[in-house]
Structure formats: structure tokens, C-alpha cells
Structure 1
Amino acid sequence: MNTPMLPGTPSRLGAHFDGEGTNFALFSANAQKVELCFFSSDGQSETSRLLLPERSGPVWHGYLPGIRPGTLYGYRVHGPYDPDRGHRFNPNKLLLDPYTREMRGKYRSYGDLLGFINSDPKGDLSFNTRDSAPFVPKSLVTAPETHAPSSERPVPRSDEVLIYEAHAKGLTMEHPAIPESLRGTYEGLASDPMLEHLQKLGITTIELLPVHAFVDDGFLVEKGLKNYWGYNSIGFFVPEPRYFGPAGRAGFRAMVQRFHTAGIEVILDVVYNHTAEGDHLGPTLSFRGIDNASYYRLVQGQQRYYVNDTGTGNTLNVSHPYVMRLILDSLRYWVEVMGVDGFRFDLATTLGREDHGFDPNGGFFDALRQDPILATVRLIAEPWDIGPGGYQLGQFPPEFGEWNDRFRDTTRRYWRGDDHSAQELAACVLGSAGYFDRGGRPAGSSVNLVTAHDGFTLADVTRYAHRHNLDNGEDGRDGHNANYSDNFGIEGDSDNPVVQANRSRRQRNLLATLFLSQGTPMLLAGDEIGNSQNGNNNAYCQDNTIGWVNWQHRDESLVEFVSGLSRLRKAHSSLRQSRFLHGAVRESDGMPDVEWLDFNGRSLDWRDPGLSTFGLILRGSGECAPERQVQDTLLLLFNRDADDLPAILPVPPGGYAWRLELDTSAEMSFPARRIDSGNMNIQGQSVVVLALSADEVS
């Protein structure tokens, strides 16, 4: 290439085409020089190398006229290879631009991606001179992006949000009504059959497992497996190509627009706590070779090694200004250009770590909340990592919702029959106020779940007492031990009708508890149709029928049940209040906003470790309009005993009667009939919901 490279500008990192040429800018505080490498259209031949001619502070940059969208490129960054000082520069390794919008090619030949010689006795202190360019994807110059129209974004009421966690591929791979060419693709996710299904369930928000470009771990490739979940990011601006359909990269944005037209938000599970480069024995793909000492948190005094608060081998140094800038730029890109509506932050505790530990007012959270774009989107934290003080449930800023694993474990333990679990469930049903009721946080801060991608599916919670993960190739040692599940006497599938009936009822009870609790409910994709993973509670590497949702054997009655729960929750504002309930007396009528009763109408004995039944009267808090305060009153009755039990119903106020809205003891769980007696038989292992209605209604 004979065209001289001009100085360009450091203002925008990445490669940006202006109509006549492209500006390239790369952050590296510790590099000695940076080479920009261009490749043939098939990515196989390196056609030229040019030094970035200018450095402005830690940003290397240059402008090259005539470089147009579609050009393939990568970087070779020169500097010291001194792992003991935290530096791992190796210009023999072609590096992905952290800001690239698209990649071409795949990672291959794992040994050639390493910056050191794997067989050398010195390990990562050795130096690998083999060129990795033939074995890595190339960055791509793309055309200038237009912003997605913000006017098309659905904005569901905060108290009506219902989240559906799904895998971009696995949700549709086995759906018979979706054309084969669209199965497993972004377009397939927003196809008519899926949109109709989600709308029937009342879903307002679909939460996608990671779709940032990611890498299959070397140890999985050796076993013939793949990283299915995608928590191994390398391209924070790149939609994962393996989910491309006929429209390629444009299919992602088209998917978001179709969801928006259907009234459904799209939020992404994002992984900014670590990268795919792993620990000190991992490959050199991008960040490690660009500026290892800046991008990663290194062990103090032993900079050869990485802080591993994430359990994945490395931890991004989010407190570094240019790393934070990368993350914020990435988030804005997905909102402004790709049109998404929010984010669930994987291992979010890591993002709040400063030198003194986790800080809810740390730099990243401050930057996120003051950003004029990002401050307006939905934010959800996974409130833990494995580092010191890593469990931070309830400690995130008020703008965040948080995954509440205490809700998951407590709900499972209660229905399994564990001691002391009823007391814990009572707190969960009211939104886990002990964790979240501080600093003016709304009751929806608790994102309630009984299942998620990580763990048993709902069907497997009722089929397996133990994990069955041998297919993962780790001798069954991986995955959670504490599943709080129940197989009803038979491990796995059973054709015993009694066992089947008990399992179905347990699923209905778990789901009912989820939808009847204060907070924001989240449903795992496939739970509503009875999807099983054959007892695998860690299907992160099962890109096959184990990990995919099985639509062929869908349980239609369960779909109808979930749809009914969604309608019930939407119909009664007392189930989704924005304020926490503590039994405060309402000024309008002198009645408490919440009241606990046993089945005899008396106060509960909270000291009983075996407490297994309880009633809960929910009334609209002071925020509820006076004319709705009576109509929004509900009586919830929980009976986990095996036996049927009589319950004395509270006397309704004058002019009103109790109306049965839900009874999980039967598949037809929404009878909607008036209760004329002051007593009611509550069947064993069931949840009953009664609502006040005008006396003349029958």
C-alpha cells in the first residue's frame, strides 16, 4: 500500500470511515509502536503493514485515505514481553480491534493463539514467534451507523414488567413452526410463532443470554464441545456471528425492531467482568496483546498472574478510565445503534470493585447513572462474584434491579418441605424488603426467579434430586450441589401417573409463588412448556438437544397456566406494588396494607420451625386510589402439607364477597367463582387466591 498514512485523530477509538477514508485509533498506554495490518478479502493473506504515525497520550492513531467499508484489518502491538511486570506484548499475534463492529473468520489452532510456547518448560515466560494471523478472525471496517429510532421503543409500566430469559439460538432450534433457515438465528427469535407465544404469555421484556462475539474455550474444543451460553466475550460491539440468519449482522437490528413492534423490550446479558483470554496460560487475542497491564487487574506484587474475582481466569480492570470508556461506549452502541432497551450485567459486583473493595458509588456506577443515554435504560445486576465480599444482594444503586437468588432457593425449599422456609418465603413474597427497602428503592428492585439458565429447569427441579452433568466432560463435578429439588421418589422421567401429577402440581406452585410475589418476575424460556435438560444443571457447553428448548413435547396446559398467571398479576395491582409493604395502617380505612393469618384466622406462630401453611391478605398501599383499595384486596393461601386443610376465611367488608381466582390443585386453575361460605377446604400442596368482588357479582 503506497498511500501515506496521515496523522488522523484520537477522538474516536476504533475504525471510522468518513466517506473518503478511515481513521484508526487504538488505546495502549504501554506499547512502543503499533502496526496496522491489512488483509485480502478472504482474510487469508496479509497485504500490507503500516505504523500508526501518531500518539496522543495513550492513544495511537492514523488516517488512511481510500480505505473503505469491507476492508479487513488487525493490529500488531510492540512492547516488552515481561509477564513478571504485567506486560505481554507479542507482535507475532494478530489482535482484534476492541472497537470493531464486525469480525470475519474464526479462531482456530489454539496453540498458535498463545503468546508463549505451550510445550516450553518455562511456560508463559517463554515467547512464541509463530504468526497467529492465519488462525484468527479479522476486524472489519464498517459503514457509518445510523441510530435506531427511539420512538419505536416500548416502555412497559415498571410494575407490569415480566422478563423472559432466553438463549438466542436454543429457543428456536427445535420450534417446528419456524422455517428451518431461521431456526437458531436472530430473525428466528422474532419470527411470528415466537412473537405470538410471548404475547400470549404476557411477556414485556426478553432477556437474551450473551450475544457479544465470544470464543469457544480451548478445553471445550479439545472435548468436542462448544461454549453454548456465551459468557466468554471478545468483541463488545459485535453481534455473535453464529446466530446470523439470512440478513447477517443486519438481522440483529431487524430482530429488535420486530420485538418493539410487538410491544416487547430487548435487554442483553452482558459480560464486562472478564474476557475470553483467560488466565496467564490463555490465548493472546486482543486486550492482552494491546495492553495487558491496563486492561486487566493483576495480582499486586505478582503481576504475572491475574486477579480472578470472576472464576474465569481474569478480571477486567473496570476502574481504569479507558477500560471504563470501552464499556460505556459499547453500552451506548447497543442502545443507540442496535436499539436494545437495557442490560443485565453478569457478575456485576466485579464492575463495582475499587481498590478498597465493592463500592455501590464506584466510578462505573457513577458514570453509568449520569450518562444521558444509559441512565434511561433498564439495568439489572447479577449481585455477586467469587471475590472477597462478592455477595452484594441489595447493595446496588437504586436504578438497578437485582437477580434475587434467595427468592429462588427459598421458594424451592418451602415447597420441598424444608424447616424454617415458610418464614423466609414470607419475606420473599413481599419483595425481600430486608435486602432492598433502602434508599428509596422500589419494590420491583427484586428480580424474582425460581429458575435461570444456570441450574435446573423448572421441569428438572421436580424430576431430579441430583445433577446429571456427565455430558459436560468433567466427571459430573461441575454445576451446583444446592439445587433444593425433589424427584418425588423417582429420579428422572416416570410414567407413574401419581408421580406425574405431583410433579405438575409442584411446577404450578412454584410458578404461582413467582407471579404472586412483590417484585419483578423472571421466567426461564421453556419452563412454560415443561422443557427438561435431562438433569443437567450446567448446560453451558451443550449446544445440542440438551441445551435447546424442546418444543415437540410442549405441555399446552402449562402454557395456559402461565398465561393465566400473567393475566391474574396484571389484573390485580396489589400483586405488583411499587412500595414495600410492612403492615402499615392505611389512613383511608385504618386497615393494614398486609396481614398474615393462619388457616384459623389467627396470627401466625413465626417461631414454629415446621410452619407450612399461611394466609396473606394483600391490600393496596397508600399509593392506591381510594376507589380501588377494596377491589384490590387479595387473600393468598399457601398449603404445602400433603393433606387437605380447612381454612376460615376473613369476613369480607359489607357489600363484598370472596371470589376464587386461582387454585393450583387442578390443571384448570382459574375457576373464577364466588365463595358463599366462610370456610374453604384448601387441598394439599396448593396455592389459592381469593379476591374481593362486589356482592352482586356471581
Structure 2
Amino acid sequence: MSQLGATVTSEGIRFAVWSSSARHLWVSIFNDSGTREVERLELKPEGEDVYALFVSSLASGTRYGFRADGDYAPERGLWFDPEKLLTDPYAVEIDRRYQYHWRLAARRNEGADTAPLMPKAVARALPEPVLVKPSLFQPGGLIYELNVRSFTKLHSDIPEAQRGTVAALAHPAVIEHLKRLGVSAVELMPITASIDERHLPPLGLHNAWGYNPVTFMALDPGLAPGGLAELRDTVAALREAGIGTILDLVFNHTGESDRLGPTLSLRGLDAQAYYRHLPDGLLANDTGTGNTVACDHPVVRQMVLDTLRHFVRHAGVDGFRFDLAPVLGRVEGAFDPDAPLLRAIAGDPMLADRVLIAEPWDVGPGGYQLGNFRPPFIEWNDRYRDDIRRFWRGDPGVVGALATRLAGSSDIFGRQGQPASRSVNFIAAHDGMTLADLVAYENKHNEANGEENRDGHDDNLSWNNGVEGETDDAEIARARFDDQCALLATLFASRGTIMLTAGDEFGRTQKGNSNAYAQDNAITWLDWAGRDRALEQYTAALSAMRRAFPALSDTHFLTGKPAGASAIPDVEWLTETGAPLGEADWNDPGRHRLVMMLGNSGGGRLAVLVNGDRRQCVFTLPIRDGYEWRPAIETQAIDLARPLPDRTVSFMIERRAGKASSRKES
């Protein structure tokens, strides 16, 4: 198929678009301000359902949109209406943000021309491709998930005009913070142009997360006012600091929503092909957002691949996170791990060494697919999230699940005989409660979302230390601080890739809101001035320890047997007395203590001491001749002769002892 979109040359611009059902297609050319249509030119069929036209004398910066005509029969998936201006699916830039208006969803002959309401695509001569370098991120590293706008909106060190933009991520203060945390790669929540859901404007709310795209390549002008060059320069600055960039992309649905939604792009060009429909003609809704992109259609598959290559070739990004990824693997509605699109992504030469992260669930039939993607995809692991929360909440009978999650979740990712984990371990993410709110709110508080607290998950496996939301009581504050430390320590002690959401390292709160997608305000903006610096320091120390002991970030499954030439097992599971955990211990519903002893950590063993009980406990570790145990983190002053505090995780490293070392039990 010939190249689609607007291709700028020195002689003019070639416009091309695909539709298998339209009878007529036009390109509308607008003036420099995008306020007046100056010319409407009909595109000519070129074969393979491509319509195109070369227009001489036009140059880079031209504003344009498409129009299409044909049958109008929504019950059959046909929405042709030449009064609807349509964004080019291959647009690389738009001139302003999308704003919802009811006329965008008006039926044919019921509304006026939508051109005044629509952003205009901007034809651009793309810059020379960047020199594509190997991905900086390797499995086992630390991913730092962030929302571009909320991350820097209140950061006083960043120039005010730059706050909340992609460019702000390249500011020295941001890079210094990321380096101090030992971040391997930032994962940017969607920065492509999106539109608000239709119920939000009447509530005075705005979609702050961006998971409602219109097209897939054009960046949001509010987040990246400098366009593709801004993203490219930021990626380069982060790479110079040793930090990779991962884009969170949404290919599973678009903001055109259900049959009552607006006609903005794909719907008006060929809804039958671009979206999946049920046998009765209704839109499939495997996403909970009203429509499902037909990723098994060859044209859609090509568009997804072209989008991924675009961001690697012209911005140099290190990888991608795929929202509701089973949609990308649905073939005729059913998930197939060997679906053509998934195989094409994994096998593409330009994408071969990029990190590929699947969110392995959607809301459609058979949509929960954790562990079922093929390598090289790694996967968000909600089983890890839930089991760690249950353990620290104090649920009975969870110690075995804790050990399995610490060790890389072989029960999930070892099913197909794979030797290494593909788990992305996380305790909190953008969706759900923050880390601080997990230990302060037993129930969600989503009242600000305007849906009477009905939205979002009801069970966040959270708990409340003291009076809900209370922050003045010192004892309550200390208990919550300790619980956050325990959760963070568990995360950094877990084998495989880990993910931390921005601000959780210093106690960000959303006041119990577990679904803050519509809160573009102080609820989601990170409070840099009021951050918990002690918690931030502890997180940085945990990260430094993790980097110092490769056994923690190794993705290979633990066997309990010696590794290589070493006589030390790669893992031993012990009780607090130093004895091996037996079957009775594993099955004891009241057990909330264990020791994970990892071998081959810098010449000695690393002991992870977990006391999830609400009582202090003395831990005893086995001694080897010529070795002694020392705290692995400088901020932890541990004396194993004394009880370890309740609800805590401690780390001890085994090192060779000096000549005067003691053989006493420790």
C-alpha cells in the first residue's frame, strides 16, 4: 500500500487516505490560522482503497482535514457525512487540542459543518531520522511511571511556562531527581492528542490522563507545544543521563466512543473497517469506552506498526507500554498470543530491541490474559500488586504468595517453560490509590469525579492506620510512614522489573481518590514543596541497594539450587529462627514472617528479613566461617541481637569478616 497521510516535498504535498466504503473523499485546505476553509479538493482512487491527490505549491505548515461521503447507516457501521471534518489518521501534528462539543456527535443533516470545532492537522516535513541506538532499558530495571502534566505542574525549579510539558522532563532538576532514584526508564502516560469523554464538560472536569485518543501519532499540543522536536530533544536529554523513555500508547479504542459519540476521524472514514462490530451490527466494547479498534484488520495493523516506527525513527524512544493490550491480540474477537499484530511488533527490525510492555487485560470476553503474551513482551502483574497488598494489610495465609511474588511469579510466567520472569512488579499505578493512600484510606473517595463515588474499584485492598485521612496524630503518621517503607522495600526486593509511580517515593496523596482520571488539579499535581523527604531518601537508598546486588534485579527464576560454580543456593527460604521453612510453616495462616536468602550477591549472601507481624521479633541468620552480617542499607541501623520492629523489611549483606570478627550468633 502506498504511503498514507500528508507527505511534504519541495514541490508540494501529497494527501492520501484509506477507505473501503466511501464513495467520495476530499481534502479541505485551511488558511494559516485554521479558521477558514480556502479550498476543497476531491481525492482520486489509486487502488487498494487508497484515495490520494498531489497539490503543488503547498508547503510544510499547511492546515488540512479530510471529508468523506457515502451511505449513512449507523446500524450497519456506516457514518459518512461530508459536514464532518475528519482528522487524518496519519496526522503527525494538530494545531490545537480537541474540545468536546455536542455538534461533533450530531447525526447527518442535524448539525452544521464541524470544521470550526475541530483542530486542523498540520502537514509537516518530518525531520531527519535520529540515529536509532539500542534501547537503554533492560528487563530487571526500574520503570518510573509519570503523568507529564501533573509531574511538573507545581515544580518550583522549572520555569513556569515550561511546567506540565514534555520539555520540563529535560530540566536538570528533574533529571537529578530521576538519577537519585536510579530510574532506568520513564514511562510517559499518553502524550498523544485526546478528547474529553462527553460527560466531563458539564461537570467542569477534564480528562487528565489522556487515555482517550483520536488518532495515534499527533502529540497533544498542550503537553508538547514544541511538537515532535520537543519529544525528540527530551528523549535525547534523558538518554544522555542514562535514562530511557517509554511511551504509553492507546491502540485499543478511540475517543469516538459509542454510537452516541462524536465523529472525528476513523468513524467518518470507514467505521466498519477500523472498529470491531458484533454480529448484530453494534460496536464491540472490549474496552469499556464504547468501541474497540479492529487490530486484526490489515490496515489497522499497518497503522499501528507505522506509529511505533514513527516514534522510534523520529524521537528515538526506548519502548512502549500497550494499554488494554489483549485488544491488539484479538482475532475475530478472541485473544490469540500469536495474533498477526503481536507477531509483527515483536518481529519488526526497528522494534526488535525496544521494550514492549503489555497491560494484559481488557474488559471483553476472555480479556484477562496475564502470563499469556509471548516474549519479548513483559507484562503488568496485578497478581503481584494484590498479593503484596494483602500481605501487608495482614490477610491470613499469604506468606506463600509473598514468596512467589518476591521470586518473580514463576506460577504465572513459567507456564510455557520460560526460564525468566516477564513480570512488571508494581504496588501502585496511575489507576487506583496512591501508595500513601493505601495505608490511610480503607475505602475509596471519588466524590470529586461527579459520579457519587460509584466509579473506580470498590476493593483496593487498602487499610487505614488510625482515623481515616487524619494527619495530625504523630503515632498514626509514623505507622503510615512505616507501612509505606515496608511496601517500597518489598517492591525493591522483588526479582525482575519493577515499576514506581511518580510521587509515591515521597508520599503523594489523592485524598483517597482511586480513579483520578478527571482531576487536572491539585488532587493529581505532585506537591514537590510538601514532599516527605525522609521517605524519598529511603526510596533512593533502596534503589541503590538494588543496583548493588544484581540478584534482586535478575529475571531468571529461582531454583533453590547452587548457581554456576558456587556452592550457595540461589535462594533459601527461612523462618525468623534461621531454619528452613517447612510445609507447616508455608501453610500456617498466621505466619507473617520469613527470610529470603539470596546467593551470589557481591561475593556473599543477601538476606531480606520480612516482619509483617504487628509484634517485634528477633531474627537469627546462619553464619558461615569467615563471614559476618552487615546492614545492606546505610539508613538502616540493624542490630540482630535486638528485636526488629513490627511491619518492616530489613536487609543484611554477608561479607568476609576481618581477623577480629566474632563467631557469635547474629
Q: Which residue does the alignment assign to 1:293?
A: 272
Shift in Å, 1:41: 1.3
Q: Give the number of aligned pairs.
A: 657
Over 3 Å counting, the alpha-carbon distance change for 1:586 and 1:38 in structure 2 is closer
Tell me the percent identity: 42
C-alpha contact (below 8 Å) 2:100/2:198 kept by paired residues: no
Of 411, 416, 430, 1:453 maps to 430
- Verify: 1:341 aligned to 2:318, yes or no: yes
Shift in Å, 1:601: 2.5
Q: Deviations over 1:26-72 (max 9, x none)?
A: 01011111111111111111111111123312111111111111111
Q: Which residue does the alignment assign to 2:552?
A: 575
**Structure 1 residue identity aligned to 2:73:** D
Shift in Å, 1:519: 1.2
Over 3 Å counting, the alpha-carbon distance change for 1:602 and 1:230 in structure 2 is same
Shift in Å, 1:438: 4.2
Work out the CA distance in 1 between the residues paired with 2:421 and 2:538.
23
Q: Which residue does the alignment assign to 2:453?
A: 476
**Structure 2 residue identity aligned to 1:251:** E
C-alpha contact (below 8 Å) 1:398/1:439 kept by paired residues: no
Over 3 Å counting, the alpha-carbon distance change for 1:138 and 1:586 in structure 2 is closer
Over 3 Å counting, the alpha-carbon distance change for 1:391 and 1:157 in structure 2 is closer
Query: Secondary structure at 1:334's aligned position in 2?
Result: helix
- Verify: 1:417 aligned to 2:394, yes or no: yes
Q: Which residue does the alignment assign to 1:121?
A: none
The answer to which of 133-142 and 433-442 deviates more is 433-442
**Structure 2 residue identity aligned to 1:366:** R
Q: Which residue does the alignment assign to 1:259?
A: 238
The answer to which of 501-510 and 596-605 deviates more is 596-605
Q: Which residue does the alignment assign to 2:91?
A: 100
Of 9, 16, 34, 1:25 maps to 16
Work out the CA distance in 2 between the residues paired with 1:318 and 1:108.
26
Work out the CA distance in 1 between the residues paired with 2:184 and 2:98.
37
Query: Secondary structure at 1:687's aligned position in 2?
Result: strand
Q: Which residue does the alignment assign to 1:388?
A: 365
**Structure 2 residue identity aligned to 1:388:** P
C-alpha contact (below 8 Å) 1:164/1:205 kept by paired residues: yes
Q: Deviations over 1:400-424 (max 9, x none)?
A: 1111111111111111100122221
Of 643, 651, 665, 1:681 maps to 643
Work out the CA distance in 2 between the residues paired with 1:360 and 1:156.
24
The answer to which of 479-488 and 358-367 deviates more is 479-488
C-alpha contact (below 8 Å) 1:16/1:22 kept by paired residues: yes
Work out the CA distance in 2 between the residues paired with 1:94 and 1:589.
68
Q: Which residue does the alignment assign to 2:38?
A: 47
Q: Which residue does the alignment assign to 1:173?
A: 153
Work out the CA distance in 2 between the residues paired with 1:143 and 1:78.
29
Q: Which residue does the alignment assign to 1:4?
A: none
**Structure 2 residue identity aligned to 1:318:** C
Q: Counterparts of 1:477-626 in structure 2 under 5 Å?
A: 477-586=454-563, 588-604=565-581, 605-620=585-600
C-alpha contact (below 8 Å) 1:97/1:139 kept by paired residues: yes
Q: Which residue does the alignment assign to 1:188?
A: 168
Which ranges in structure 1 are unaligned for 5 or more consecutive residues?
A: 1-9, 117-125, 621-628, 663-667
Q: Deviations over 1:480-530 (max 9, x none)?
A: 112111211210032111111110000000000000010111111001111
Query: Secondary structure at 1:634's aligned position in 2?
Result: strand
Of 139, 147, 167, 2:121 maps to 139
Q: Which residue does the alignment assign to 1:692?
A: 654
C-alpha contact (below 8 Å) 1:158/1:444 kept by paired residues: no
Q: Which residue does the alignment assign to 1:83?
A: 74
Of 47, 52, 59, 1:56 maps to 47
Over 3 Å counting, the alpha-carbon distance change for 1:492 and 1:638 in structure 2 is same
Shift in Å, 1:443: 3.6
The answer to which of 418-427 and 561-570 deviates more is 418-427
Of 614, 636, 651, 1:642 maps to 614
Work out the CA distance in 1 between the residues paired with 2:145 and 2:227.
23
Work out the CA distance in 2 between the residues paired with 1:399 and 1:468.
38
C-alpha contact (below 8 Å) 1:154/1:263 kept by paired residues: no
Q: Deviations over 1:81-126 (max 9, x none)?
A: 112222111111010000011112344462211141xxxxxxxxx6
Q: Deviations over 1:174-224 (max 9, x none)?
A: 011111111111111211110111111111100000011111122101111
Query: Secondary structure at 2:300's aligned position in 1?
Result: helix
**Structure 2 residue identity aligned to 1:52:** L
Over 3 Å counting, the alpha-carbon distance change for 1:565 and 1:442 in structure 2 is farther
**Structure 1 residue identity aligned to 2:520:** D
**Structure 2 residue identity aligned to 1:661:** A
Shift in Å, 1:681: 2.4
Work out the CA distance in 2 between the residues paired with 1:630 and 1:378.
28
**Structure 2 residue identity aligned to 1:273:** N
C-alpha contact (below 8 Å) 1:573/1:632 kept by paired residues: no
Query: Secondary structure at 1:514's aligned position in 2?
Result: helix
**Structure 2 residue identity aligned to 1:454:** D
**Structure 1 residue identity aligned to 2:76:** R
Work out the CA distance in 2 between the residues paired with 1:682 and 1:661.
15
Of 128, 131, 155, 1:149 maps to 131
- Verify: 1:200 aligned to 2:183, yes or no: no
Which ranges in structure 2 are unaligned for 5 or more consecutive residues?
A: 662-666
**Structure 2 residue identity aligned to 1:284:** T
Work out the CA distance in 2 between the residues paired with 1:31 and 1:635.
66
Shift in Å, 1:356: 6.0
C-alpha contact (below 8 Å) 1:172/1:184 kept by paired residues: yes
**Structure 2 residue identity aligned to 1:276:** G
Work out the CA distance in 2 between the residues paired with 1:14 and 1:364.
21
TM-score computed with the length of structure 1 as normaliser = 0.91
**Structure 1 residue identity aligned to 2:46:** R
Over 3 Å counting, the alpha-carbon distance change for 1:156 and 1:110 in structure 2 is closer
Query: Secondary structure at 1:645's aligned position in 2?
Result: coil
Work out the CA distance in 1 between the residues paired with 2:354 and 2:100.
40
Q: Deviations over 1:615-645 (max 9, x none)?
A: 121124xxxxxxxx67241111111112111
Over 3 Å counting, the alpha-carbon distance change for 1:632 and 1:229 in structure 2 is farther
Query: Secondary structure at 1:47's aligned position in 2?
Result: strand
Over 3 Å counting, the alpha-carbon distance change for 1:48 and 1:385 in structure 2 is same
The answer to which of 22-31 and 136-145 deviates more is 136-145
Query: Secondary structure at 2:483's aligned position in 1?
Result: helix
Q: Which residue does the alignment assign to 2:664?
A: none
C-alpha contact (below 8 Å) 1:93/1:115 kept by paired residues: no
Work out the CA distance in 1 between the residues paired with 2:621 and 2:61.
71
Over 3 Å counting, the alpha-carbon distance change for 1:445 and 1:286 in structure 2 is same
**Structure 2 residue identity aligned to 1:215:** I
Work out the CA distance in 2 between the residues paired with 1:100 and 1:16.
10
Work out the CA distance in 1 between the residues paired with 2:523 and 2:364.
31
C-alpha contact (below 8 Å) 1:631/1:691 kept by paired residues: no
Over 3 Å counting, the alpha-carbon distance change for 1:356 and 1:49 in structure 2 is closer
Of 603, 609, 627, 1:656 maps to 627
Query: Secondary structure at 2:29's aligned position in 1?
Result: strand
Shift in Å, 1:556: 1.0
C-alpha contact (below 8 Å) 1:169/1:185 kept by paired residues: yes
**Structure 1 residue identity aligned to 2:311:** W
Query: Secondary structure at 2:388's aligned position in 1?
Result: helix
Q: Which residue does the alignment assign to 1:16?
A: 7
C-alpha contact (below 8 Å) 1:13/1:24 kept by paired residues: yes
**Structure 2 residue identity aligned to 1:274:** H
C-alpha contact (below 8 Å) 1:574/1:633 kept by paired residues: no
Work out the CA distance in 1 between the residues paired with 2:150 and 2:393.
29
